Amino acid sequence: MEKRILIASLSFLLGSGLFLIDSMFEIAQHFSPMSLLHLSEGVLFLIGSIFFMPSSSSSSPSLPKTDCNSYLETQGKLVPVATDYTDESPHT
């Protein structure tokens, strides 16, 4: 799962970089308000793609920080976790 997230993030980063390069070539050919808009879109898309890159310090970027997957909060102790999410009331 982590490898797929990294590949997806790198694909977005590459695509946004290409989008930015394309908008710079468009401005070099002819300057217009639309080409300036494309440049700002490319910059914002690149910044957003950088922020979507998984951090190297997180063990699993797709999982929220809980007592189950946070070693520091539990100090390595086992924490009881409910695995059955069905209603505990008897079914009639």
How many C-beta atoms surround the C-beta of residue 16 within 10 A?
A: 21
Query: What is the pLDDT, as a whole number, of residue 18?
Result: 93
What's the pLDDT at 63? 47
**One pLDDT digit (tens) per residue for the chain, 92 residues:** 788 888 988 999 999 999 999 999 999 999 999 999 999 999 999 998 888 888 776 554 454 455 455 455 556 666 666 655 555 555 55
Q: What angle do CA 29, 30, 32 make, to 5 degrees?
A: 145
Q: Is the pTM of this model over 0.85?
A: no
CB 22 within 8 A of CB 42: yes
**What b/e readout covers 48-74, taking b as 16+ CB neighbours within 10 angstroms?**
ebeeeeeeeeeeebeeeeeeeeeeeee
